[in-house]
Amino acid sequence: MIDLFVSHYNYWVVILLMMVGFYTLISRGNLVKKIVGLNVFQTSVFMLYISMGRIKGGTPPILVDGGCGHGTGAEGAIYSNPLPHVLILTAIVVGIAVTSVGLALAVRVKEAYGTMEEDEINRIEAEMEEAEWRRGRGELIHEFLGKFPTRRALSAPRGAEADA
C-alpha cells in the first residue's frame, strides 16, 4: 500500500491538486477565486503530462551523436520523452489565454453588475427575469399557469382583485 503510494506519488499529487482546484471552482462564489481554482485544476493536468514523460535516471532529451528514438539514445542512454513537455508548453499558453479572458470577463461583470460575487449576480438576474415575466403576457403560458394557484397568486392581497 505504502509502496503504491510512494511509487506513484506524482499521481497522488496530481489528484490532490485537481480536487483542490475543482473544489475551489465549484464552491467559491467570487469570480476571481473561481478562475484561480480553474488554474489549479489545469495545472494539475500539466503536472500529469510532465511527470509521465520523465523516466527515472533519464537524461535531458538532447540528441547525442545522431541517435534518436523513443526513450533510448543511440548508445542506450535513457532520456525523458520530450513530447509531453512540448505539448504542455502549448497547453500552458492555452491556460494563460483562458485565465486572461476569464479575468477580463470578471472585470466587465464587475463594471456591469457592481459585484463579483456569484450569489449577488444571481439575485440581480433573478429580479431581471421576474421583471421580464411580469412584462410578458405570453398568453399561452399564463393561460396554462392560470389553472394552478401559484404562490404569488395566493399571497396576493384579496383587495387587489376586488379593485380590478
Partner 1 sequence: MSAHLPVLQVLVPLLAAPVCALLRSARAAAALAVLASWTTLAVALALLGEVKSAGVVSYAIGGWVPPIGIEYRVDMVNAWVLVIVGTIASVVSPYMVVSVSSEVERRRIPLFYAAYLLCLTGLLGIAVTGDVFNVFVFLEISSLSAYALIAMGTRRRALTAAFRYLVMGSVGATFIVIGIGLLYVMTGSLNMADLAVLLPEVWDSRTVKVAYGFLGVGFCLKLALFPLHLWLPNAYAYAPSAVTAFMASTATKVAVYMLLRFFLTIFGAPFSFGTMALDRLLLPLALVAIVSMSMVAVLQVDVKRLLAYSSVAQIGYVVLGLSLASVTGLTATLLHLFNHALMKGALFMAMGCVVYRIGSVHIDAMAGLGRRMPWTMAAFVVGGLSLVGVPLTVGFVSKWYLILGAIERGWWPVAVVVLLASLLALVYVWRVVETAYMRPYEGDGRAVEAPPGLLLPTWVLAAASIYFGVFAKSTVATAEQAARVLMSGVGS
Cell triple for 67: 541517435
Cell triple for 122: 444571481
Which of 64, 94, 126, 131 touches partner 1 by CB under 8 A?
94
47 binds partner 1 (CB under 8 A): no
Distances (CA, A) of 117 to 27, 29, 123, 125: 12, 5, 10, 12
Residues in the chain: 164
Give me the residue label for grid cell 411580469. 134
42 binds partner 1 (CB under 8 A): yes
Q: Are 10 and 51 in contact (CB under 8 A)?
A: yes
* Closer to partner 1 by Cβ: residue 149 or 159: 149
Could you give the CA distance from residue 31 to residue 42 in angstroms, rounded to a whole number?
A: 17
Which of 90, 148, 155, 158 touches partner 1 by CB under 8 A?
90
Q: Are 109 and 122 in contact (CB under 8 A)?
A: no
Could you give the CA distance from residue 1 to residue 8 in angstroms, rounded to a whole number?
A: 11
Give me the 116-145 binding string for partner 1, x by CB under 8 A, dash otherwise. -----x---x--x---xx-xxxxxxx----
* Closer to partner 1 by Cβ: residue 151 or 163: 151
Under rule CB under 8 A, how many of the chain's residues touch partner 1?
40
* Residues lying near partner 1 in the complex (CB under 8 A): 22, 25, 31, 34, 38, 41-42, 45, 48-49, 52, 70, 83-84, 87, 90-91, 94, 97-98, 101-102, 105-106, 108-109, 112-113, 121, 125, 128, 132-133, 135-141
